[in-house]
Every structure is written in C-alpha cells, then in structure tokens.
Amino acid sequence: MNILITGTSSGIGKGCAEYFLKEGHLVYGFDKDTSTISHPAYTHFCLDIRDKSAYPKLSPVDIVINNAGVQDGDDIDVNLKGTISITEHYAIHPAIHSVIMIGSASGHTGSEFPEYAASKGGVLAYTKNVAMRIAPYQATCNSLDFGGVLTELNRPVMEDQNLWNQIMDLTPLKRWMTVEEAAQWIYFMAVINRFCTGQNILIDGLEAGNCNFIWPE
C-alpha cells in the first residue's frame, strides 16, 4: 500500500516509516527537516505541513498517518490545523483504507502546555469527524494517544533523574513506551484493524490516571 506519514525525520514518525518499509509498503514522508531514512521505497518531501501550496501531487494514498507535531507556540497551527489540511487534501477519497491521528494523553487530561493540550484535544475531536466521513468507503480513522515515548523530544525529562523519578512514581508500569512499540500500534490500527473506528485510544501505561504534568522550570 501507499502510505503517507508526516514528521518522518525523527522520533515516532521515523520509527513508523521504517516499520512500514520493513513490511513492504511504499512510504511518502513529509517533514520540515531533511530525510534521515535511506530506502528505495521511501520518498521524502521537505515541507511545512502548514503550507498547502507545497503539497506534492501523489499517487492516491491508502493510509495517512498524521504524526507531525510541535511544542513551540505554533502548536494549534501545526498539530491541529496542519493535520486537518493534510487529511483533507490526501485522505478523503473512496480508495482510502485508514487514517491515523497521533494524539496525546494530554488531549484527554489537559495536563501539559496549554496550546499543546488544546491542539491535541482538537485532534481527538477531528478524528471522530473524519471517521464518520470515510465510513462509507469502509475506511477507519482512530487517534492513538500516547503518553510518554522515548524520543528526542522528551530528553529534557528523560535526562533529568529527579524529574524522571517523579514521572515513574506516577506511572504504574514504571516505564515509557519505545518508538518500536508505538510503530507496532500504528501498524496494527492502520493496516490490520477493519472495524474499530472513531476512537481516541489512550496508550500511556496508566500515567494519565495520575494527571500530573512534570517538566523543567
């Protein structure tokens, strides 16, 4: 299948792209940074998902995975509006197989930076909107709302032992998800799942049960 993934230069997006490539799919990657993946079935487009004029013309994509996101003050424009733009441009058509939104536990709890939490809350609502609209095509749309994932983005807390200990005190499983685990979830829900749709699936090791955001001052 043809897969479009946003935010593929690092973190979950990169791990997801590599997982789909390993499974034999053709992957298009969008990122504002240059490619960090070398594979004959991977095509990289260096662009800002907010810029609709930069969107390339692609062969119809079967799966759209909205992963690109920021925590820098442009959260609403990138995480929510950018996700909407990509989805409306590439995913709403009769041949679509599935759409995955990478949400966040903060979309459920509100326990993070205000704009980030609000942007992810919007993604959760938009997931249900898209699910209703592509259901006539027998396509599914769900958000996977991860808690802590071991990525570069989270180094400020991962490398601070005091903060890390506080987080682990709030996390019953006493660990965070790996990028590989995130990619496996995405693959299952995008490719194998055919009946679960319109759901905001919280995957956080039960950290959200404590609802306490920890970050450096």
Q: How far apart are CA 143 and CA 65, in angstroms?
A: 10
The CATH architecture annotation of domain 2-149+177-209 reads: 3-Layer(aba) Sandwich (3.40)
Q: How far apart are CA 19 and CA 180, in angstroms?
A: 8
Q: Which residue from 205, 42, 36, 200 is spatially nearest to 126, judged by alpha carbons?
A: 200
Q: What is the pLDDT of residues 151-176, one digit of tens each?
A: 888 888 999 999 999 989 888 899 99
Q: In the chain, what are the domain boundaries?
A: 2-149+177-209
Q: What is the pLDDT of residues 37-96, one digit of tens each?
A: 999 999 999 999 999 999 999 999 999 999 999 988 899 999 999 999 999 999 999 999
Q: Determine how β-strand 63-66 pairs with β-strand 200-203.
A: unpaired
Task: Grade residue 114 by pLDDT with cuts at 50, 70 and 90.
Answer: very high
Q: In terms of DSSP H, where are the helices of 37-113?
A: 75, 83-90, 106-109
| C-beta of residue 177 within 8 angstroms of C-beta of residue 150 | yes
Q: Identify the H or E element spanning 177.
A: none
Q: Which residues contact 165 (CB under 8 A, 6 or more apart)?
A: none
pLDDT at 49: 98
- Angle at the Cα of 56 from the Cα atoms of 152 and 54, rounded to 5 degrees: 70
